[in-house]
């Protein structure tokens, strides 16, 4: 059957996603088309499911209003729920309180598999498990707090902190984090508190650090008194590295390199910034 003047509204977990989401290309809204083009009835949700890249539970709502070529008007709503147990980890929190990794991992205490982890939302997520997933960890917004030496999974994938986000390190005593490669961008979530930020314990970062843009590393006593040691090499390129300490010490034992005109010689320039209020 051919549809004229069709209107289709797609919702996922209550949010309008007619333009697509999480790697899914949804059928167009408006216009006209035939049944197979729109992924009709039961095939609709199967088609959506096959395009998902993140594990989790999804509630699909599909509403249509359409008039066929004979002039008959149709209107209906379909709903269905799917749980996907494979695929990449979608870690999202926009709330004021931190959540644990089990909150987005079906209650499991370990993140595992040949998958990546993407952090979204302005809130904080704490990684507490002895994780071994092998994909890249990307912190797009808010804070991801590592509380275990293997919190970020296998060192194969590496971790990237985008501008406006932060990787926080915390332990009540001391922890030596695995040799994870780390790319830093920006100065942190707010108040320039650090794209890499030690917030409690005597922590050591052993992996190589690359400045994707000018970035800040900070150590403070938000969670508990302590210090931060950077044992991995830091490559600055043409970018500037800012260091800040608020009640905690920072030491760098790894080599520093960079060749930007704004730097002093061949080492990344250090700029002292005001303490965080």
The mean pLDDT value of the chain amounts to: 76
For residue 68, the SS3 value is strand
pLDDT tens-place string over residues 31-81: 333 333 343 333 344 444 555 567 776 676 666 666 666 667 666 676 767
| Higher pLDDT pick, 16 / 38 | 16
User: Is 195 a residue whose pLDDT tops 90?
Assistant: yes
Once rounded to an integer, what is the mean pLDDT over residues 179-193?
91
pLDDT above 90 as % of the chain: 38
Rounded Cα–Cα distance for residues 11 and 4 (Å): 22
Mean pLDDT along residues 206-211:
96
Is the pLDDT at 151 greater than 80? The verdict is: yes
CA distance 240 to 245: 17
**Burial level of 177, CB count in 10 A (0-12/13-18/19+)?**
buried
Q: Is a pLDDT exceeding 50 seen at residue 228?
A: yes
Confidence of residue 127 (pLDDT cuts 50, 70, 90): very high
Q: Where do the domains of the chain lie?
A: 2-84, 89-272
Q: What are 104-125's pLDDT values in tens digits?
A: 777 778 999 999 999 988 999 9
Contacts with 195 (C-beta within 8 Å, 6 or more apart), sequence order: 161, 163, 165, 166, 167, 184, 185, 186, 187, 188, 215, 216, 217
Tell me how far apart the alpha carbons of residues 244 and 277 are, in angstroms, rounded to a whole number: 12
What's the pLDDT at 17?
57
Cα distance between residue 160 and residue 175, in whole Å: 20
For residue 27, pLDDT over 90 is answered with no
Predicted pLDDT of residue 139:
97
Most confident of 41-45, 52-56, 150-154, 264-268: 150-154
The confidence score (pLDDT) of residue 30 equals 38
Q: Could you report the per-residue pLDDT of 230-263, keeping only the tens digit for each?
A: 999 999 888 988 888 887 888 888 888 875 433 3
């Amino acid at each position: 059957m051919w549809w004229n003047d069709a209107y289709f509204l797609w919702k996922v977990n209550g949010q309008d996603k007619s333009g697509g989401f999480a790697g899914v290309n949804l059928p167009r809204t408006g216009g006209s088309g035939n049944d197979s083009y729109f992924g009709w009835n039961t095939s609709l949700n199967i088609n959506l499911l096959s395009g998902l890249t993140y594990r989790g539970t999804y509630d699909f709502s599909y509403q249509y209003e359409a008039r066929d070529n004979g002039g008959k008007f149709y209107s209906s709503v379909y709903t269905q729920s799917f749980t996907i147990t494979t695929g990449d980890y979608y870690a999202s929190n926009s709330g004021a309180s931190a959540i644990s990794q089990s909150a987005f991992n079906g209650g499991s205490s370990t993140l595992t598999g040949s998958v990546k982890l993407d952090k979204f939302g302005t809130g904080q997520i704490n990684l507490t498990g002895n994780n071994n997933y092998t994909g890249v960890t990307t912190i797009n917004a808010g804070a991801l707090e590592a509380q275990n030496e293997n919190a970020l999974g296998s060192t194969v994938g590496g971790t990237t902190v985008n501008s406006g986000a932060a990787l926080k390190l915390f332990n009540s005593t001391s922890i030596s984090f695995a040799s994870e490669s780390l790319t830093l961008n920006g100065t942190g979530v707010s108040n320039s508190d650090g794209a890499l930020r030690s917030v409690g314990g005597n922590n050591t970062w052993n992996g190589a650090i690359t400045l994707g843009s000018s970035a800040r590393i900070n150590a403070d006593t938000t969670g508990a008194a302590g210090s931060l040691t950077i044992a991995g090499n830091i490559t600055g390129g043409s970018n500037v590295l800012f260091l800040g300490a608020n009640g905690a010490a920072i030491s760098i034992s790894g080599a520093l390199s960079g060749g930007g005109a704004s730097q002093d010689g061949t080492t990344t320039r250090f700029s002292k910034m005001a303490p965080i209020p």
